[in-house]
Structure 1
């Protein structure tokens, strides 16, 4: 899930739209062999029994991404497939001044102290891989974004065994199209249909005991966008490779920018440079907190802040054919409690809604669909009051210039004492 540096942006237009009951969609986008029974000597009752048994076999078993015995669609919780010993991510050994960490007994002892956190993260990562593997096989032009969001979120709930704050969805599923780079998910009643020439960013999260895996990918159905996807994928991998203990955040941003902006793309006879979206960035992740203080730039900005041992980071990069600067646009769907307990709401509807947020989401991000799902209604004014008073933060869609295209790739990694582990890495990206 992305974070913008435009924290001081004017949200008056968003607040006005929030109070409206009608819902709009992203700018400028359209909506609109079982085996035969050869035994003729069987009685009719036996035949009916056999057919009933066959028709109940809805989920074909297949070997999933690292999970033998998973169904299609995935329905078996990963805890049942791996018996609490989950696949490790992609391991990067430390080099140069940190190379001693690989064999240091002291570092190995420190590693053992965070085994439970790492195991929780690996469980969440396996859920992400299996859900996205199925989603990537199913998403295609003609589908409604609302159906895609439900498919991903219901799969996540099932595979992680959703259980309050112990395990569940990390944040709302981002399904941002074309010039919309991030923070769009359908509100109830939205019907946005994928078109053949769309560029779709899919960004979703999974948590176990508040340890969040944040990972995203981009899908297209026209190979003319291949250079854009290649640039962003390579830029993300560069950021991951450069990251490490005591590495300066600004140096990572410079490396990402150098790779991203070495690419160009030809669209409709025009050759365009691929730019970094300079006011979007990666971030570190804390318990139940998707953006936990440090930001990882995707351009050179001179930030001397260093990454530290034990920190969890999401490296995400955004490439664009537009201006390289996103702004808030459209009706808001994403929200998160700000964490400031000193301010209390003054109106009854806001107090009631805050109680619902505390009970169901805490500091985890949520969307209006999630409020609808748990039975909240007529909450618009209460939500607006919470946003206006800084108790809840609104995260409206973030868009570049109309007519441009944006792409995103993202992975979560942890800086363990002995190695860097890219937890969300899979065979797909």
Structure 2
């Protein structure tokens, strides 16, 4: 089922998204060489609960943590643990917050210290592709328009799009219909309607697009062990121009990342 949200429901998602954005910023300040990933998870959970929210991911299909923390060649769904961040790593932080009965969902990939220029270019291109997809989240267009915009932007730069994992609807449930692929054909797929709330989340690989799931049942890793980046916003389809409900503003205020300020 695809649920169109009322303006009141959209406002509740925005409130959730504010807590989420600030939780991301709390985590961002802890990302540095020498930090265990499970410490970042504790920071997020404490902030979310202290501000009246519930971590959307914890317990979702038995996921054991509040954050998905995916380092280097892990695409998504990495489980926080004893891994210690190293200079030159990249780390995707994916987080969801439930507040007032509604979820919000966003992800951001950080460099840990200094990274190579090739890796920095991957981060920048993946982030930009997210906004290219959002530009197509307009009433009357099709889901394939979003996927095509993302796919076209990264493939001409010789990156690849993960096919097995996609974005999704967001609302009273963390994952609702419809699916939001990061690839597609213009003019194809579900027709977009005002009030659809979608999590758009490009997962882009430095190497080939093939991935595998590890024995833990969660961790998704690139088969060629090359780095992968992941950025995500929760948005609402509007007439003329999509509205972004989540925010990177708080992240960018503490990381001084001006590569793509909030649009």
Task: Calculate the TM-score normalised by the size of structure 1.
Answer: 0.52
Q: CA RMSD in A?
A: 2.1
For residue 174 of structure 1, report the CA deviation from its aligned partner.
0.6
Unaligned runs of 5+ in 2: 58-65, 253-261
Q: Pick from 82, 89, 94: which aligns with 1:191? A: 82
Give secondary structure in 2 for the equivalent of 1:176: strand
* 1:297 equivalenced with 2:181 (yes/no): yes
Q: Classify 1:226/1:196 alpha carbon distance in 2 versus 1 (closer, same or farther; 3 Å).
A: same
- What residue number does 1:315 align with? 200
| Conserved 8 A contact 1:211-1:286 | yes
Unaligned runs of 5+ in 1: 1-110, 163-167, 264-272, 333-395
* 1:282 equivalenced with 2:167 (yes/no): yes
Q: Tell me how far apart the structure 2 counterparts of residues 178 and 250 of structure 1 sit (CA, whole Å).
A: 29
Greater gyration radius: 1
For residue 235 of structure 1, report the CA deviation from its aligned partner.
0.5
Taking the TM superposition and a 5 Å limit, the aligned residue runs for 1:335-354 are none
| Conserved 8 A contact 1:413-1:420 | yes
- What residue number does 2:60 align with? none
- What residue number does 2:96 align with? 205
The count of corresponding residues between Structure 1 and Structure 2 is 236
- What residue number does 1:253 align with? 147
Give secondary structure in 2 for the equivalent of 1:305: coil
Give secondary structure in 1 for the equivalent of 2:56: strand
Q: Classify 1:115/1:310 alpha carbon distance in 2 versus 1 (closer, same or farther; 3 Å).
A: closer
Q: Tell me how far apart the structure 1 counterparts of residues 171 and 96 of structure 2 sit (CA, whole Å).
A: 13
- What residue number does 1:269 align with? none
| Conserved 8 A contact 1:214-1:412 | yes
* 1:326 equivalenced with 2:217 (yes/no): no
- What residue number does 1:170 align with? 56
Q: Tell me how far apart the structure 2 counterparts of residues 308 and 408 of structure 1 sit (CA, whole Å).
A: 26
Give secondary structure in 2 for the equivalent of 1:138: coil
Q: Tell me how far apart the structure 2 counterparts of residues 243 and 420 of structure 1 sit (CA, whole Å).
A: 6
| Conserved 8 A contact 1:149-1:185 | no
- What residue number does 1:400 align with? 222
* 1:413 equivalenced with 2:231 (yes/no): no
For residue 315 of structure 1, report the CA deviation from its aligned partner.
0.7
Q: Tell me how far apart the structure 1 counterparts of residues 137 and 240 of structure 2 sit (CA, whole Å).
A: 14
Q: Classify 1:158/1:222 alpha carbon distance in 2 versus 1 (closer, same or farther; 3 Å).
A: same
Structure 1 segments, 4+ long, off by >6 Å, are none
Superposed CA deviations along residues 52-72 of structure 1, whole A, max 9, x for unmatched, are xxxxxxxxxxxxxxxxxxxxx
Q: Classify 1:417/1:321 alpha carbon distance in 2 versus 1 (closer, same or farther; 3 Å).
A: closer
- What residue number does 1:217 align with? 108
Q: Tell me how far apart the structure 1 counterparts of residues 210 and 43 of structure 2 sit (CA, whole Å).
A: 31
For residue 137 of structure 1, report the CA deviation from its aligned partner.
1.9
Superposed CA deviations along residues 313-369 of structure 1, whole A, max 9, x for unmatched, are 01100111232122211313xxxxxxxxxxxxxxxxxxxxxxxxxxxxxxxxxxxxx
Task: Calculate the TM-score normalised by the size of structure 2.
Answer: 0.83
For residue 143 of structure 1, report the CA deviation from its aligned partner.
0.4
Superposed CA deviations along residues 124-158 of structure 1, whole A, max 9, x for unmatched, are 11111212122212211110011110111111111
| Conserved 8 A contact 1:329-1:399 | yes
